[in-house]
């Protein structure tokens, strides 16, 4: 049941190859080592959950993989593209074409309706699905013209899910997607993530504090003090609807 090897199963080429990754933040209080040398391969279609206490480095890794932040040293290769050495322009195109994000605080644009928030992405993506379809997939067909303030937290996060997958991303990054939600809404969001990721065949990385969520992943990676502590492969995955916390 436990598989602690760094590498994923070898039958598929990795979508991400991560080697010796470090990240150091310089603050007024001194240097903070967020990542202290991470090695990891991720294969297409995997669902990975990153667990760990605050400051363990899991969100930093997610940000670097998503092209939101840059590594201090080491290599991150996405399908042959070296993200560590990529130009701003390359990173922008990477985020535009290949990556979807879901954040803890939804980060919807308050002045746009649900539909318009999704269209923010479909306007610039290369071959997106329609914004209506994306919202239908997350079960919000009847809430398309609502503003974020008119939606519950769970509904807002599902809009964020629709917004993230509408471009048909290859990778979906979810940073504490259920962190601001109650158990029932959280489950609905995780279900939405699973369904839509399956629909577009995206690789999913979920950062969470919630160990219960780990049981829906293919692999569970535990972080501690800027390093990978353990990697577990789930032999018996559960469905999101089976969860509660």
Partner 1 sequence: MRVLDIKLLRDLWRLKWQALAISVLIAVGVAVTVMAYSSQKALSTAREQYYRETRFADIFATLKRAPLSLTRRLAAINGVRAVDPRIIKSGLMEVRGQVRPAIAQIISLPERDEEALNRIVLMAGRLPDARQPHEAVALKTFLDATGLRLGDEVSTVIGGRRITLRIVGAALSPEYIYMPSPGSTLPDDKHQGIFWMTRAAVEEAADLDGAFNAVAIAITPGRNEAAIRAEVDATLAPYGAGVAIPRADQASHAFLEAEFKELKTSGAIFPPIFLIVAAGLVHLVMSRLVDVEREQIGLLKAFGYSDFEAAVPFLRLATLIGLGGAIMGGALGAWLSQGITTLYREFMRFPELTGDFHFAAFAISALLATGLTAAGALVAVRRATRLNPAVAMAPPRPTTYRAGILDGGYFDAMIDPLSRMILRTLFRFPVRSFMTCVGLAASLMVLLATQFVYDSFEVVLDHSYYRIQRWSDQVGLAEVRGPSAVKNLTQLPGVLAAEPIRSIPVIFRANGIEERGGLIGLNPGSELYRPRDEDGQALPLLSDGLILSEALASKLKVGIGDPLLVEVTEGERRELVLTVGRLSHDYSGTPAYLARPALNRLVSEGDVANGVLLLVASDARADFYHALASVPLVAGVVSRDDTVAAFRDIVTRSFSTTMVFYLGFAGAIAFGVSYNASRIAFSERVRDLATLEVLGFTHAETAFVLAGEIVVLALAAMPLGILGGHLLADAIVAAYGRDEMRLPSGISAWTHGVSLLAFAVAIGLSLIIVVRRVFDLDLVSVLKTRD
Site residues, partner 1 (CB under 8 A): 27-28, 63, 66-70, 88-89, 92-97, 99, 101, 103, 105, 107, 109, 111-112, 116, 119-121, 123-125, 163
> Shortest approach of partner 1 to residue 10 CB, angstroms?
31
> Shortest approach of partner 1 to residue 67 CB, angstroms?
8
Are residues 19 and 39 in contact, defined by beta-carbon separation less than 8 angstroms?
yes
> Shortest approach of partner 1 to residue 48 CB, angstroms?
19
Phi first, then psi, for residue 105 (nearest 5°) are -100, 25
* Residue with Cβ nearer partner 1 (16 or 106): 106
The three-state secondary structure class of 104 is coil
Are residues 213 and 177 in contact, defined by beta-carbon separation less than 8 angstroms?
no
Locus of tokens 């937290």: 153
* Residue with Cβ nearer partner 1 (135 or 231): 135
**Spatial distance between the Cα atoms of 183 and 244, rounded to a whole number of angstroms:** 6
> Shortest approach of partner 1 to residue 63 CB, angstroms?
4
Both tokens assigned to 119: 């269209």
* Residue with Cβ nearer partner 1 (28 or 142): 28
Both tokens assigned to 148: 């974020």
Q: DSSP assignment, residue 56? A: S
* Residue with Cβ nearer partner 1 (98 or 210): 98
């Amino acid at each position: 049941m436990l598989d602690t090897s760094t590498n994923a199963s070898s039958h598929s080429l990795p979508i991400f190859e991560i080697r010796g990754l470090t990240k150091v933040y310089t603050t007024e209080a001194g240097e903070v080592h967020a990542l202290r040398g991470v090695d990891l391969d991720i294969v297409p279609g995997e669902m990975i959950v990153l667990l760990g206490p605050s400051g363990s480095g899991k969100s930093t890794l997610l940000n670097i993989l998503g092209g939101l932040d840059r590594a201090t040293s080491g290599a991150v290769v996405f399908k042959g593209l070296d993200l560590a050495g990529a130009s701003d322009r390359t990173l922008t195109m990477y985020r535009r074409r290949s990556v979807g994000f879901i954040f803890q605080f939804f980060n919807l644009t308050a002045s746009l309706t649900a539909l318009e928030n999704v269209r923010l992405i479909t306007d610039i993506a290369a071959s997106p699905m329609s914004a209506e379809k994306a919202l239908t997939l997350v079960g919000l067909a009847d809430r398309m013209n609502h503003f974020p303030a008119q939606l519950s937290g769970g509904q807002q996060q599902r809009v964020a899910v629709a917004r993230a997958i509408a471009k048909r991303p290859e990778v979906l990054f979810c940073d504490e997607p259920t962190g601001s939600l109650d158990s029932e809404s959280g489950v609905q969001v995780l279900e939405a993530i699973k369904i839509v990721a399956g629909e577009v065949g995206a690789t999913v990385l979920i950062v969470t504090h919630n160990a219960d969520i780990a049981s829906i992943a293919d692999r569970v990676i535990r972080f501690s003090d800027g390093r990978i502590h353990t990697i577990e492969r789930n032999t018996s995955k559960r469905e999101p609807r089976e969860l509660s916390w």
